[in-house]
Amino acid sequence: MLDTHARKFAQPSINYAANKLLTRGYTPNQITVFALLVGIGTSVLYVMGFPSLAVVFLWTSGFLDAVDGTMARHTKTSPFGTVMDITFDRIVEVAIIVAIAYVHPEVIWPLLLLTVAIVISMTIFLVVGAVSEQSGVKSFYYQAGLAERTEGFLLFSIMLLFPSVLYWSILLFFVVELFTGIQRFVEAGRILG
């Protein structure tokens, strides 16, 4: 929801960073890989006991993830760049879930439920994007929903920073993600049915 409706407020800084990186000779795919490494750094830092720094890495990774797409749209988008982007986003999310499970094994079952909800929601998102004849600014049809990347980062940040409410924040994330999957499935029936 925030990615769709609030992106316009962050877009000037994203454009600025994208232009700076392009003028320095970086490619969108290089930034995608760098965003992945920074995102995985989130998990490493969390396991090492630095949750605040982990959250800084998480948001830096998310910013770079937005920058690489803007860079691609300013040059030339590639189907493989889209595959890298979506795959690496999921790797970062799974790495965070695994890191939380490692540090807090007592919440392994809620984390498993969250993972299932993410898989369901992303499956619908990707299949609708693949079979839809519509396209947007991105190289595929982007299905908005209650939980987009920014909402996920907000909930991951709460999970990383506030262990006293970890169980409930995971369950909240699960409910939000499952609702998003249902929301996307209903929209798919409307636009593809």
pLDDT above 80 (res 77): no
Q: pLDDT tens for residues 26-56?
A: 999 999 999 999 999 999 999 999 999 999 9
> What is the reported pTM?
0.88
Which one, of 98, 80, 84, 82, lies nearest residue 160 by Cα? 98
Domains in the chain, CATH or no CATH each: 2-192 (1.20.120.1760)
End-to-end CA distance of the chain: 24
Phi, psi of 146 (to 5 degrees): -60, -45
Q: pLDDT tens for residues 85-103?
A: 999 999 999 999 999 999 9
Phi, psi of 102 (to 5 degrees): -65, -45
CB-count exposure of residue 26 (10 Å: 0-12, 13-18, 19+): middle
Least confident stretch, 24-28, 122-126, 127-131, 132-136: 132-136
Confidence of residue 111 (pLDDT cuts 50, 70, 90): very high
> Residue 139: its pLDDT value, please?
52
Which one, of 22, 19, 65, 21, lies nearest residue 40 by Cα? 65
Annotate 155-184 with b (16+ C-beta within 10 A) or e (fewer).
Answer: bbbbbbeeeeebbebbebbbebbbebbebb
Mean pLDDT of 140-167: 86
Mean pLDDT of 53-71: 95
Tokens of 8: 């316009």
> Residue 137: its pLDDT value, please?
47
